Amino acid sequence: MKNYLVIIQTGDNQQFSDFQRFVDAKNALDKDLQKRLLVAKFFPSNEIGAVFDLSDIVVSRSGANTVFDLAALGKPAILIPLPGSRHNEQFLNAQELAGLGLAEIVSQENLDLLLKKITAMAMNLKNYQKNAPKALDLIISDSAQKIAKIVSEETR
């Protein structure tokens, strides 16, 4: 971790106490490492873009919103699909970015590979970044206008 600034969003699951476990782990680190770790339950929607913008590599689940945000921003990512997601959608979402050379996929069962994947991606970051423009093909920039037009035509 001494080579990285790590930002972790834990959620607020009371059953597993993820937030408290990460806070406790952070507090157990020496002071220099503590400065390199930010733990939050959630980032408000008006802040998550800034968090992504600060990030060279995003490690995340692969829900549709996150994947499209990463595509729009061209952020290299290591995606960990939520097991058991409906119709395996998180894995399919992750495959979209991986197929473009912008992401790697790590299954939840293989998290022991995560640090190795992060290190390899950091060492080859430029290769992932050069694929960022390909991800823009996933984005329909005028989607709001298209939806409004369809709704407008249907209500006539």
Could you give the CA distance from residue 95 to residue 99 in angstroms, rounded to a whole number?
6
Question: DSSP states of 14-65 as a string?
Answer: TTTTHHHHHHHHHHTS-HHHHTTEEEES---HHHHHHHHHH-SSEEE---HH
Residues 120/94, Cβ–Cβ less than 8 Å: no
**Where do we find the tokens 């996150």?**
66
Residues 75/52, Cβ–Cβ less than 8 Å: yes
Structure tokens at 154: 């249907």
- pTM of this prediction? 0.86
pLDDT tens track for 19-38: 999 999 999 999 999 999 99
Give me the phi and psi of 103, to 5 degrees please: -145, 160
Give me the phi and psi of 105, to 5 degrees please: -115, 130
pLDDT tens track for 73-125: 999 999 999 998 889 999 999 999 999 999 999 999 999 999 999 999 999 99
Name the superfamily (CATH) of residues 43-154: Glycogen Phosphorylase B; (3.40.50.2000)
Give me the phi and psi of 63, to 5 degrees please: -65, 160
The β-bridge relationship of strands 103-105 and 77-79 is: parallel
